[in-house]
Every structure is written in structure tokens, then in C-alpha cells.
Copies of this chain bind each other. A is one copy, B any other.
Amino acid sequence: MNFCSQCGEKVRFAIPEGDDRPRYLCESCGAIHYQNPRIVAGTLPVRGDRVLLCKRAISPRKGYWTLPAGYMENAETTREASARETREEAKAEVELGSLYTLIDLPHINQVYMIFLAELKSDYAAGEESLEVALFAEEEIPWQELAFPTIERTLAHFFEDRKQGHFPLHMSTITPEDRERYFGSA
């Protein structure tokens, strides 16, 4: 951020009076520009013993497999965001179940929220996907998953499925987790 989005003057990065962390400040109009984490909402769509994955058509991680998920928009709920992303990326309608994973990624200012879902329609690659397909557990391309959040959510699912009990899993992904996942490349 270089300029004030309210008045167009240059901003500086400093701790406002009475605050304890630096913000982008406009000394011309007095605006303080706060920046906050974003929610990534998505689903784990299930049909029978298979789960739906999307091969990414866009960066980052183009060509890798993911669950349908993306940034929550203003004016929608977390459940609406999850269903919309599934519609956009997999052209699929789902019946949403419970919130299944809630994963903090503080180093990239994201909070993932993935809902269990039952696939209720046909599916096809949306604009951000190269391919959409159903995978049984033994077919999951573990080495070609796009993000550690996806790997973790799928691992919980196949483990929980043995007991038929799917509680909410909350956890944090650290930079070290991310590095282990992506390798040193």
C-alpha cells in the first residue's frame, strides 16, 4: 500500500496513537487502513466412497489437485461461500454438512473453512479447473495435492471414516509445515 484509498495522498507505515502495531496511515485525511486475514471457504464433496477433487488451472499450484475452495466474498455466509466455490470450480451442486476443518495459516493471513458435503449433481471443470474427478481413498494423488490444508483435510476424512464420526478439526499450518510440504523448491 503506497497511497490512501480515501484521499489519494501518500501513506506511511507506523503505529497509530493508542495502537500497538503498525498500520498504513494517511496524515492528510487521518484514515487508518487496517488489513485483516481472509477466509478461504470450500467443501469436501463426497459421493459414495469417493471424494471430488479439482485440478487447478491457475496459479498458484497450477496442475495440482485441490478441494473446491476460494476467498469468501462480502455479503455472503461461510456456507454460501463454500457452495459458490464448489459451483464455480467443479460446476457441482452439493448438500452441505457440518464444518469439518478450520485451519489457521497465520504466515499468509488466511483461515481455511472446509465443510463436508454430499455431491448432488453432475460435475465438470469450471474456469479455474483443468479437470474434476472422483477419487477413492487408494486413488488420491497425495504427491500432487495443491496445498497442505487439502492434504490435512483429506487425511482427517479417511481416518474419521473408519469410525463414521466426523468432528470439527481445528489446527494451524506453520511456515515449517508448508516448507516440509512443498519441499525446498
A-B contact pairs, 17 of them (CB 8 A): A2-B5, A3-B3, A3-B5, A3-B7, A5-B5, A5-B24, A34-B71, A36-B38, A37-B39, A39-B111, A75-B107, A77-B106, A79-B104, A79-B170, A80-B106, A99-B168, A99-B170
Is the interface on chain A under 10, 10 to 19, 20 to 34, or 35 or more residues?
35 or more
- What residues on B are CB-neighbors of A163 within 8 Å? none
Known interface pairs A36-B39, A75-B106. Does A8 touch B18 (Cβ–Cβ under 8 Å)? Answer: no
A141 to B4, CA, bound (A): 41
The reply to whether A4 and B3 contact each other, CB–CB distance below 8 Å, is yes
- Mostly helix, strand, loop or mixed at chain A's interface? loop
Number of copies: 2
Q: Is A102 an interface residue (CB 8 A)?
A: yes
From B5, B18, B107, B109, A4 is in contact (CB under 8 Å) with B5
Additional pairs, 11, CB under 8 Å, beyond known A79-B104, A80-B106: A2-B8, A3-B4, A3-B8, A34-B71, A37-B72, A77-B106, A77-B172, A78-B104, A79-B170, A99-B170, A168-B168
Q: Indicate whether A78 sits within 8 Å of B127 (C-beta atoms), given known contacts A2-B6, A5-B2, A99-B170.
A: no
Scan A9-44; emit 1 where CB is below 8 A from any B CB, else 0: 011000000100100100000000111111100000
